[in-house]
Amino acid sequence: MKGLLARINAPHKGGRKPPAKHGNLAPIALDDVKRRIELLDSFEQAGLGWFWASDAQGRLIYLSANAIERLGREPGELIGTLLSDLFVSDQDREGEGTERPLAFLLGARNSISQLPVKVIASKREPWWEIAGKPQFDKNGEFTGYRGSAKDISAVRENQRDAARLAQYDPLTGLANRHRMHKRLDKTLTAYRNSKRACALIMLDLDRFKQVNDTLGHPAGDELLKQVAARLGQLLGDNVEIGRLGGDEFQIILPDLDDRGELGELAQRIIQMVSQPYSLSGSRAIIGTSVGIAVAPYDGIDAEELVKAADLALYAAKGGGRAQYRFFSSELKDGAKLRRQIEEDLRDAILRSELRMEYQPIVDASTHKVACLEALVRWPHPERGPISPTAFIPVAEDSGLIKELGEWVLRESCRQAVEWPVELRVAINVSAIQFSRADFPETVKRVIKQTGIAPERVELEITESVFMGDPEKVQRIFKRLKAVGVRLALDDFGTGYSSLSYLRKAPFDKIKIDQSFVRGSPQKGNNNSAIIAAIVSLAEALDMETVAEGIETKDELQLVKQRRATHLQGRIFSLSMGQEELIERLHTGELVYEPRGPEKYRSERRTEFRRIGLIHDDYRYHVVLRNLSKTGALIDGLIDVPTGTQVVLDLGGGQLAVATVTRSDGHSQGLEFETPLIRDGADGLCTRHRVSPYQIEAAGRPLAALPHDAYSAMTGLSKGGAGPKAFIEADITYRDVAA
């Protein structure tokens, strides 16, 4: 190492001279070459650091023997290796970062200072930190590098661990909020340039707080780990899954905008997460709600898309939980409405604005009323009727469920006492209400205050009450049966039922959820077999069964053939108020004759709203009267020939190609080329929408979809370039939305 030896042999210049020898002290002088080399050798051998040198061609001409040994190589193996084949820096590999890559520094003959590199000429591939200076001869010709190195593998590992902790959730191993936001932002930026779509799913766990409260936080942590594992198993490695904190998760799905596929995936997520969990010997059942937004349709940047998915999740929770929702512009108003509902509900309970209605449950063989299910209604003085699916989840989230549940229990029992016939009253009990330690005492107090016979009170409870402490649940059951009330298992089969709790739970009745009844007579439908299995199970356990939600005569015939003991549904009667019920009971009309359509058909929703209809590049305004998955009924065009191809603009960029199959004056029946899909609520939507990239191509700035996306794309809100093919009728309905 000529450069190194030259520096060692250089005469001492300036400063103090080394002290002379005295006594046993023998300082190492600068011109004491032998002892200085011994010092450097000991430094190398101790592994504190090593030296390396290269020639003018960038080939290794020296490396400390201890370093070569650490690499597991023979001394002669590495000599002559190009430095670029020996060391690689992060910047060389990734092409990014603020540091200059090693290849650049060597090529420019720059000094190297504390540069981390991976030693690729070793199986172990350790990380070193190297430094070096270019050397020149007396003529200024470059002669190579002289440098030092030290092993920083342990430091590098610690840094990598720290970096991982900064990006990943330590509990589940999923990406954390910071990494998910960074990944989503980077993805959306790249996808805008390449005109691609990206879906974002937000989900949080229903009833997770109850697990923490009943089983403890360690059980809650274990539950989160199992949820993360299930999501990973379902979704695979091609998507990014993150835990944002608490019980909230996020999923990034690149290149997916088909809402049919997204809805199916959301339903699979709900089903998988809702399966029972084993937590330290205890059994827990939770659920999940899912919100879905898609870029660029619902937002073009990360912040906008996350907000859209959050609003969709909020709507899913507000719709009754264990549901999914797609984002729509109407949800912004829905979030405000939910907050207003919470405020108004407090006042409604205090002012007794709520009222009870009752739907008959009849004996399957005689159709004679055997029980009446109590259903709470809220006729809002300003907003009109508000559905229980809207205000009950708000009551659960806000803590109002205790007051609401107690009011419903008391009012139902009080009104049942007024009935001229002593019929049972079935009262729904939420899982949150049931889990309160004072619930049996509340039931006992209400029965005493109202004077109703305990055996006339039937409490309908869902399977979710079995989540948590099974011993506590059994104690509550025991105390309720001691009061003398009856117990019914509501919505059986919609969760992941376990026969183990049915062995111990003292139920008198099992209610078969209407989702199994609806459409059960259709060919290829497995619901018929499921109904038969539930009835057989109930018979073996000496329990009654109620098939609920019956609407058609073929459904009625089927559930009777499957031996359900009791029946409920609009085919017999809708719910009725207290006055109407008492009037009917006074007349002795206890038998309900079935009235309804003969057969089940795909559900049609009454709409009555104005939409666009496009034909030959001309856009008409028509009234949508009803809508189903496969077709629609419209008003507004006169004498449109059957077989005419049209496109319905359902709003929000939803265009549905359809054929006129029936035409009668100003009304037309349409059949869709591609069936609509469920939107996760009670509505329908198209699989695909007008792409914001198409609107951008028409000269508009790229933005999330406006409600009238077709007009934004074409510049036409009504009319067209050519003549009209049809005459528009002046259709006015008082309730039609403009």
Give the up-direction half-sphere exposure of residue 375: CA atoms within 13 A in the CB hemisphere.
18
* DSSP string for 91-156: HHHHS-SSSPPHHHHHHHT--EEEEEEEE-SSSS--EEEEEEEEEE-TTS-EEEEEEEEEE-HHHH
**Residue 382 DSSP symbol:** T
Look at the block and give the residue holding tokens 């709900």: 270
Alpha carbon distance 725, 646 (integer Å): 12
- Check: CB of residue 427 under 8 Å from CB of residue 447: no
Q: What local confidence, expressed as pLDDT, does residue 599 receive?
A: 77
Please classify residue 237 by burial: count the beta carbons closer than 10 Å to its beta carbon, then call 0-12 exposed, 13-18 middle and 19+ buried: exposed
Alpha carbon distance 534, 664 (integer Å): 46
**Residue 274 DSSP symbol:** T
Q: What local confidence, expressed as pLDDT, does residue 96 receive?
A: 46
Angle at 278 between CA 272 and CA 279, to 5 degrees: 125
C-alpha dihedral sign at 496, 500, 506, 508:
positive
Which pair of tokens denotes residue 502? 């049915």
Q: In angstroms, what is the C-alpha Rg of the chain?
A: 37
* DSSP string for 227-268: HHHHHHHHH-SSSEEEEEETTEEEEEEET---HHHHHHHHHH
Closest residue by Cα to residue 511 from 537, 546, 540, 539: 546
User: Which parts of the chain have pLDDT scores under 70?
Assistant: 1-23, 46-47, 91-100, 161-164, 320, 332-336, 467-469, 493-500, 600-606, 717, 721-722, 731-738
**How many CB atoms within 10 Å of residue 413?**
23
Alpha carbon distance 575, 548 (integer Å): 13
Q: What local confidence, expressed as pLDDT, does residue 207 receive?
A: 81
Adjacent-strand bridge partners of 678? 684
- Check: CB of residue 497 under 8 Å from CB of residue 475: no
> pTM of the full predicted structure?
0.64
Backbone torsion region of residue 541, taken as left when φ is above 0, otherwise alpha when ψ lies between -120 and 50, otherwise beta: alpha
C-alpha dihedral sign at 59, 65, 69, 71:
negative
Residue 616 three-state SS: coil
Residue 382's φ and ψ, nearest 5 degrees, are: -115, -40
Contacts of 103 (CB under 8 A, 6+ apart): 84, 92
Alpha carbon distance 604, 274 (integer Å): 30
Domains in the chain, CATH or no CATH each? 47-158 (3.30.450.20), 168-328 (3.30.70.270), 349-587 (3.20.20.450), 605-728 (2.40.10)
182-191: list long-range contacts, CB under 8 Å, 24+ apart: 183/240, 183/252, 184/252, 184/302, 184/305, 184/306, 185/301, 185/302, 187/252, 187/254, 188/295, 188/300, 188/301, 188/302, 188/305, 191/254, 191/295, 191/296
Pairing status of strand 60-63 against strand 87-89: unpaired
Pairing status of strand 631-635 against strand 618-627: antiparallel
Helix H or strand E segment including 219: helix 217-235
**Residue 80 DSSP symbol:** T
Alpha carbon distance 345, 348 (integer Å): 5
Which pair of tokens denotes residue 396? 């659960």
Helix H or strand E segment including 587: helix 578-587
Adjacent-strand bridge partners of 611? 622
Alpha carbon distance 49, 42 (integer Å): 10
Tens digits of residue pLDDT in 70-111:
888 887 888 999 998 888 887 655 444 445 678 888 888 999
Alpha carbon distance 54, 339 (integer Å): 72
Contacts of 361 (CB under 8 A, 6+ apart): 369, 370, 371, 372, 373, 426, 546, 566, 567, 568
Helix H or strand E segment including 619: strand 618-627
Alpha carbon distance 575, 7 (integer Å): 101
Which pair of tokens denotes residue 733? 């309905």
**What angle, rounded to 10 degrees, do the helices at 153-167 and 177-194 form?**
80
Pairing status of strand 248-254 against strand 240-245: antiparallel
Which pair of tokens denotes residue 528? 């018929």
Alpha carbon distance 548, 550 (integer Å): 6
Which pair of tokens denotes residue 120? 């690729």
- Check: CB of residue 729 under 8 Å from CB of residue 637: yes
Alpha carbon distance 618, 597 (integer Å): 39
Give the up-direction half-sphere exposure of residue 127: CA atoms within 13 A in the CB hemisphere.
14
**Residue 589 DSSP symbol:** -
